[in-house]
Structure 1
Amino acid sequence: MLNAIKDRVHERPSEVGETPATAAGGLTRAGFLRLLGTGLFAGGAGLSATGLFAQTSSDTAPVTDIDKVYDAWQDRFNAGDLDGLIALYAEDVTYINPDGAEWIGKAATKADYAELLALKPRIEIGDRIHVVHQDIGLSTNHWTLELTDPEGKVQTLTGGGIEVLRDFGDAGWQFIIDDASRSAS
């Protein structure tokens, strides 16, 4: 089954952002989510539509220090805290997922993350850089994401993001643009 999954992921390499690592047989986050969306993994992983949205919220406190935003994002992501994660986004956020699909608003962003968080991934965000002008921050990072496929094999993906944040005062720093489809080098 894993070979069939890998073959399907690499049918459209330009859409999944194939790199030398993924060309060698790794499964990208985008490919993994595409397969999940088609239902290929749903049966094997025992997921249901209601299970995808059964995330809980443990911490939605605003983050008022830009240097702590990625820590909060990483903690909430790794905890599967969908509501807490989405609380870090502005209502009218522009979110570009690793596939390059653009989503506008919290609801669309939440739906995209719900699929990923259902897989119980772990992320480590490094190489964090923030440049701030008044209430706007430009941030970049590199990340390593681990997912477990239905056969129990751990898939390690790497990438990066370029984000624009705004300081909303008491509501803290929130992402107004989150582009997870590329990495600043």
Structure 2
Amino acid sequence: MSPVITDPARLPIVFQDALNAGDVDGVLALFAPDAGMRTVAGEQLTGAAALRAEISGTVAARGRLTNVQRHTLVGAGTALLVTDWTMEIDGPGGERITPTGTTANVARRDADGGWRFTVLNPLGTSGS
């Protein structure tokens, strides 16, 4: 069982560290069971299988994530996490690319006092 994250501001760094270690299960442990994600391509994902496929694909493409937490706003057992990110990753043609962005992620506190992502949106407020 993964450690309980008691400070929601730690979620982006724990996510980064697990992803960079190639620990797909460690990343997925940070998601609530009913979590959803918007990919950098704009696709909406829900469900454990879709999330596993997305994270596994990032690991397979040798993704290397750097997160810098900008804001954490907490209220009513919910947190909004705004994080600047840079991802080094193999592109479709095998070239190394480095997309960047700012997330608008949502987490909630579970009954055990731990925080888990419910919505990941690496595109933040971007419409594309």
Q: TM-score range by the shorter chain?
A: 0.7 to 0.9
Q: Which runs of 5+ in 1 are unaligned?
A: 1-58
Identity, % of aligned positions: 30
Structure 2 runs not aligned, ≥5 long: none
Contact 1:60 1:83 in 2 (8 A): no
Q: CA deviation at 1:148?
A: 3.8
Q: How far did 1:150 drift?
A: 8.3
Task: Give the structure-1-normalised TM-score.
Answer: 0.61
| Larger helix percent | 1
Higher relative contact order (CA 8 A, sep 6+): 2
RMSD: 2.1
Deviation for aligned residue 1:183 = 4.9
Query: What are the superposed Cα offsets for residues 81-140 of structure 1, whole Å, 9 maximum, x if unpaired?
Result: 000000000111121111111111222111111111111211111143110003100111
* Contact map agreement 1:140 1:183 (CA 8 A) in 2: no
For each residue in 1:35-60, what CA deviation from the matched residue of structure 2 results, as whole angstroms up to 9, or x when unmatched? xxxxxxxxxxxxxxxxxxxxxxxx72
Q: Secondary structure at the match of 2:6?
A: coil
Instruction: State the match for 2:67 in structure 1.
Output: 125
Check the 8 A contact 1:82/1:114 in 2, yes or no.
Answer: yes
Structure 1's 67 and 127: CA in aligned 2 closer, same or farther, altered over 3 A? closer
Change (3 A) 1:63 1:150: same
- Structure with bigger gyration radius: 1
Aligned residue among 23, 40, 43 for 1:101 = 43
Q: What letter corresponds to residue 104 of structure 2 in structure 1?
A: I
TM-score of the two chains, using structure 2 as the length reference: 0.86
Q: Tell me which residue corresponds to 2:98.
A: 156
Q: Is the 8 A contact 2:69 2:81 kept in 1?
A: no
Structure 1 moving runs of 4+ over 2 Å = 148-154, 181-184
2:86 equivalent in structure 1: 144
The 1:145–1:90 alpha-carbon spacing in structure 2 relative to 1, beyond 3 Å, is same
Q: Distance in 1 between matches of 2:106 and 2:93?
A: 37
Instruction: Name the one with the larger strand percent.
Output: 2
Whole-Å Cα distance in 2 between the matches of residues 110 and 182 of structure 1? 21
